[in-house]
Amino acid sequence: MSKYWSDSIKQLHPYTPGEQVSGRDIIKLNTNESPYPPSPAVAAALENLDAGSLKLYPDPLALDLRSSLADNFNVTPNQVFVGNGSDDVLAMAFMAFFRGKTIQFPELTYSFYPVWCGLFNINYINTPMTTDYGIDTAALALQNGGVIIANPNAPTGKLTPVATIGELAASSSGSVVIVDEAYIDFGGESAVSLIDQHDNILVVQTFSKSRSLAGLRLGYAIGHPDLIEGLVRVKDSFNSYPIDSVALTCGKAAIEDKEYFETTCNKVIASREVLTTGLELLGFDVIPSNANFVFAQHTHKAAAELYQQLKDNNILVRYFNKPKIDNFLRITVGTDTEIGALLNTLKTII
> Where does this chain bind ligand PMP (CB under 6 A)?
85-87, 110, 150, 154, 180, 182, 206, 208, 214, 219
| Residue (of 287, 154, 200) closest to 191 by Cα position | 200
Judged by beta carbon, residue 91 or residue 122, the one nearer ligand PMP is: 91
φ, ψ of residue 335 to 5 degrees: the values are -70, 165
Q: Are 107 and 128 in contact (CB under 8 A)?
A: yes
Q: Of 298 and 330, which CB lies nearer to ligand PMP in the complex structure?
A: 330
Report the nearest approach of ligand PMP to the CB of residue 273 (Å). Answer: 21
Which of residues 243 and 346 has its CB atom nearest to ligand PMP in the complex? 243
Cβ-based neighbours of 239, under 8 Å, separated by 6 or more = none
Is 86 or 127 the residue whose CB approaches ligand PMP more closely? 86
Nearer to ligand PMP, 75 or 150 (CB): 150
Nearest-approach distance from CB 90 to ligand PMP, in angstroms: 6
CB of 136 to ligand PMP, least distance (A): 18
| Secondary structure element (H or E) that encloses residue 340, with its range | helix 336-349
Q: How far is the CB of 189 from ligand PMP (least distance, A)?
A: 17
Of 33, 85, 13, 98, residue with least CA distance to 322: 13
- Burial per residue of 270-309, b for 16 or more beta-carbon CB atoms within 10 angstroms, e otherwise: ebbeebbebbeebebebbebbbbbbbbbbeebebeebbeb
CB of 13 to ligand PMP, least distance (A): 16
226 class by beta-carbon count within 10 Å (0-12 exposed, 13-18 middle, 19+ buried): exposed
